[in-house]
């Protein structure tokens, strides 16, 4: 999945804008835009909306939910993408979860979930 920062940088470069130019047009600092483009920080909703409006693309495109700039996902698909619950057995059965291009077995997926839960309990 493409990171939102990559999409923002690509759109900016296609319009031959510097970070300074785009930051000024959006009303944000150049440093903030730089952090967004490198995915070190996530833009808030208002900022991501401004970016989408400026470039005439959907928020779904900026967030990497779709590869079509003007395509908006329906609410059911958006909810699925935004809140994928890996501990749901139906999800594990229906979709291939992969790491490094290799499908996780159901047992590997369960161990992964157990690992994350253990890490969270320590923090």
Q: Are residues 49 and 97 in the same domain?
A: no
Mean pLDDT by 10 residues, the chain (123 residues): 83 96 96 94 91 88 79 65 71 78 84 86 80
Model confidence, pTM: 0.57
Please identify, among 80, 99, 114, the residue that sits at the C-terminal boundary of a domain: 80
- What's residue 37's pLDDT? 95
Q: Are residues 20 and 68 in the same domain?
A: yes
DSSP string, 81-105: HHT--TT-HHHHHHS--EETTEEPP
- What's residue 110's pLDDT? 83
* Cα distance between residue 23 and residue 19, in whole Å: 6
Domains held by the chain: number:
2
Q: Are residues 71 and 102 in the same domain?
A: no
């Amino acid at each position: 999945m493409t990171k939102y920062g990559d999409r923002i940088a690509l759109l900016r470069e296609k319009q031959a804008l510097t970070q300074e130019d785009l930051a000024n047009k959006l009303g944000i600092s150049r440093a903030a835009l730089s952090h967004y483009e490198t995915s070190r920080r996530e833009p808030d909703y208002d900022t991501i909306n401004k970016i989408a409006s400026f470039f005439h693309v959907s928020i779904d495109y900026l967030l990497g939910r779709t590869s079509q700039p003007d395509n908006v996902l329906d609410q059911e698909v958006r909810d699925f993408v935004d809140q994928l619950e890996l501990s749901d057995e139906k999800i594990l059965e229906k979709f291939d979860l992969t790491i490094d291009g290799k499908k996780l077995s159901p047992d590997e997926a369960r161990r992964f979930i157990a690992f994350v839960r253990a890490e969270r309990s320590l923090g």
